[in-house]
Amino acid sequence: MTAVSSSQTGGQFGGRAYVLAILTLVYTFNHIDRQILLILIEPIKAELDISDGQIGLLTGFAFAVFYATFGIPIAMWADRGSRKNILSLSLATWSGMTALSGFALNFWHLLIARMGVGIGEAGGTPPATSMISDLYAPKERAFALGIYTSGIGLGILAGFVIGGFVYQAFGWRVAFFVAGVPGLLLALAVWLTVSEPTRGAIEARESKAEASSIGETLSFIAKQSSFLWLLAGCCLICISANAFLAWTPSHLQRTYQVGPADIAIPLGLLIGGVGSVGAILLGRVCDRLSIRSLAWRPLIIAICAAIALPFAWAFLQAETINAAYAWNLVPSFIGLIYASIAYTASQELVGLRMRAFASAFMLFCLTLIGIGGGPTIVGWLSDAFTHAGDAAPLKSALEIMLVLNLLSVFALMMSARTYERDAARAAQVN
């Protein structure tokens, strides 16, 4: 491998570690602005007089459709243009729309604001994961993307804490302002301090060729069976994971008669703090095992999905809120690993100038099917069970989601069968 200069792999203030830290912070803000709504569902629902089905749309499809759809053209742009400029513009957009959510007077106002957040956040992950893949070699990439993915957990933690305590002191509208405005300053920092890494330099595969077309990239992905099976498995997990993420605060508040501020810190530490640690440590484990065989990429997710299943079921059956927190420790620790490995796979199963699009395609499917489907389906099921007289309709709806974790294990095992072969094929493509 050829030597790589700092100008090829770093930022203006401290090299690749600085860039990774900034990108992780951006991803943290991504999830603060996305998830703060979850801790505020109950007071917003009461003030604006909206149903669980409408809440499902706000946390699911209203956000996901725009997030997924705009991600594709933005990713094609990122494969051709300045990724850090795209990232800073996107961050400014979603942060501004989050702040505007505080002005919502009814369901439709909030719906429009959430659509705007989705459009802005569509430009976050594809350029960021592409940049990280140009800064970290394959043997350390899952760890680096695990650090990046920890932004999900950190964002959930910060979003829950900000939402819970700012709501208690000033109301839910101010919480949106507090979450959104700092992102505008971070967008300026990204634009001024992060430099664009050279594509492929870390792998001595620098390519000056034009980026592949959508058709060429999709045709290549269609031939990578491991990519398709991994995508299917991750989508199944994503539906269940996002259903639980969106509705766990409401489940706890309704089941144990507590308020947003009561669950903000413990739930934030569980899903956010424990989840972030798990993403980083399991990313390191995945890199170590993948030295022997890249098939460990999907196998790690399959093992984690199987382990999480009984603990998630016990969480829903817990008689006290402290028991619920205890049962949620294991699912929280392993709950984010599917995302970091999915992004890793989207970078090493395609050619160099397909990477941002492949990340966006993975994100498109996970978002539209998982983030869009999970919360929305549970909202509809909860309304249906309510009309049927179920004493705990939300709990019943969440129980159904666990079937998807079981189905995901099969798909991921199928991905492992051809992963090494497909990664070797992608390594020959610029």
Q: Is residue 1 part of a domain?
A: no
pLDDT at position 395 is 94
pLDDT at position 275 is 81
Q: Is residue 265 part of a domain?
A: yes
Q: Is residue 25 part of a domain?
A: yes
pLDDT at position 397 is 94
pLDDT at position 236 over 90: yes
Q: Are 121 and 339 in contact (CB under 8 A)?
A: no
Mean pLDDT of 165-180: 90
pLDDT at position 5 is 45
Closest by CA position to 285, among listed 266, 268, 300: 300
Vertex 73, ends 71 and 76: CA angle to 5°?
A: 105
Cα 147 from chain centroid (whole Å): 13
Mean pLDDT of 291-297: 88
- Give the count of beta carbons closer than 10 Å to the beta carbon of residue 213: 12
pLDDT at position 190 over 60: yes
pLDDT at position 204 is 53
Question: Chain-wide mean pLDDT for the chain?
Answer: 84
Mean pLDDT of 257-280: 85
The owner of tokens 């634009």 is 191
| Percent of the chain clearing pLDDT 70 (strictly above) | 93
CA-to-CA distance for 206 and 1, rounded, in angstroms? 12
Between 76 and 370, the more confident residue is 370
Q: Is residue 3 part of a domain?
A: no
Q: Is residue 205 part of a domain?
A: no
* Per-residue pLDDT tens over the stretch 251-261: 999 999 988 88
Cα 414 from chain centroid (whole Å): 23
Look up residue 381 and give its two tokens.
């099921």
Q: Is residue 244 part of a domain?
A: yes
* Per-residue pLDDT tens over the stretch 356-411: 677 778 878 888 888 778 888 998 899 999 999 998 999 999 999 999 989 999 99
Q: Is residue 218 part of a domain?
A: yes
Indicate the number of domains in the chain: 1
Q: Is residue 204 part of a domain?
A: no
Vertex 75, ends 38 and 14: CA angle to 5°?
A: 80
Q: Which domain holds residue 313?
A: 10-199+213-426
> Which of the 8 DSSP states describes residue 320?
S
pLDDT at position 381 is 93
CATH number at residue 308: 1.20.1250.20
pTM of the model: 0.71
Exposed e or buried b for every residue in 152-179, given b needs 16+ CB within 10 A? bbbbbbbbbbbbbbbbbeeebbebbbbb
* Per-residue pLDDT tens over the stretch 318-336: 999 999 999 999 999 988 7
pLDDT at position 1 over 50: no
Mean pLDDT of 296-309: 92
Q: Are 32 and 153 in contact (CB under 8 A)?
A: no
Vertex 144, ends 141 and 147: CA angle to 5°?
A: 150
